[in-house]
Structure 1
Amino acid sequence: MTVNTTKGKTPRPKTSGSKSQDAPRLTRVGVKEFRDKATQLLAQATPFAVERHGKVIGFYTPLGTSPEQQDRVVQAATRLDDTMSRVADELGLSLDELEDLLVREAQ
């Protein structure tokens, strides 16, 4: 995945050449810009990353609204919860401790 590091603006993903060969660019926005322009950013219905002090702290990925898409999201969230619980148990950690460990490793 290529990343567009333009700050202060919310550019649309650029593509060139064959669509099957080029990955779309991910828009990156700062926390303040996200706070100030949340409505516009969310209305674009395109993924973006939120940064604090130049580090990505989260991603927004729009979900589809069809019943099938919503069912897939619920199923994926359930599988993630089950996996996190299983891994925490295997490591002898609480879920909070595992989440803290994952956050530290991501930084």
Structure 2
Amino acid sequence: MSLRVGMRELREKLADYLESSVPIEVTRHGQTIGFYIPVPKRANQSERDAMLDAGRRMQEELIRLGITEDELVADIKDWRRSRDAV
């Protein structure tokens, strides 16, 4: 489960959202522009374990959005190609 938050609200409540453990879908003019996937670190948890937790949360978001890893990788490659072409 994630929150859908506009840029203005994100700026106004940034400190609160950064403390949250819920992923945030960031929008501008109703269009998704990014995601914030928090990596809450527990006592005695290594950075590696925190990153693995973040990966699991990212996988949950991909499933929720109906996006496969292959689609995400292809989209990132397309974006890089278009960026490098400029």
Q: TM-score, normalised by structure 2?
A: 0.52
Sort the Cα spacing of 1:58 and 1:45 in 2 relative to 1 into closer, same or farther, 3 A.
Answer: same
Q: Percent identity?
A: 30
Q: How far did residue 29 of structure 1 move?
A: 0.5
Q: CA RMSD in A?
A: 3.1
Aligned residue identity for 2:81: L
Q: Note the residue ranges of structure 2 that are not aligned, 5 or more in a row.
A: 56-72
Q: Note the residue ranges of structure 1 that are not aligned, 5 or more in a row.
A: 1-23, 77-83, 89-95, 102-107
Which one has the bigger helix percentage? Answer: 2
Measure, in 2, the Cα distance between the counterparts of 1:99 and 1:48: 26
Equivalence map 1:1-107=2 (5 Å): 24=1, 26-65=2-41, 66-67=45-46, 70-71=47-48, 73=51, 97-98=80-81, 100=83
Q: Specify which structure has the bigger relative contact order, considering alpha-carbon pairs within 8 angstroms and separated by 6 or more residues.
A: 2
Aligned residue identity for 1:61: I
Measure, in 2, the Cα distance between the counterparts of 1:99 and 1:62: 28
Q: How many residues align?
A: 58
Runs of 4+ in 1 over 4 A off after TM superposition: none
Q: TM-score, normalised by structure 1?
A: 0.43
Sort the Cα spacing of 1:44 and 1:97 in 2 relative to 1 into closer, same or farther, 3 A.
Answer: closer
What SS is found at the alignment partner of 1:50? strand
Aligned residue identity for 1:56: T
Structure (1 or 2) with the larger CA radius of gyration: 1
Measure, in 2, the Cα distance between the counterparts of 1:50 and 1:32: 10
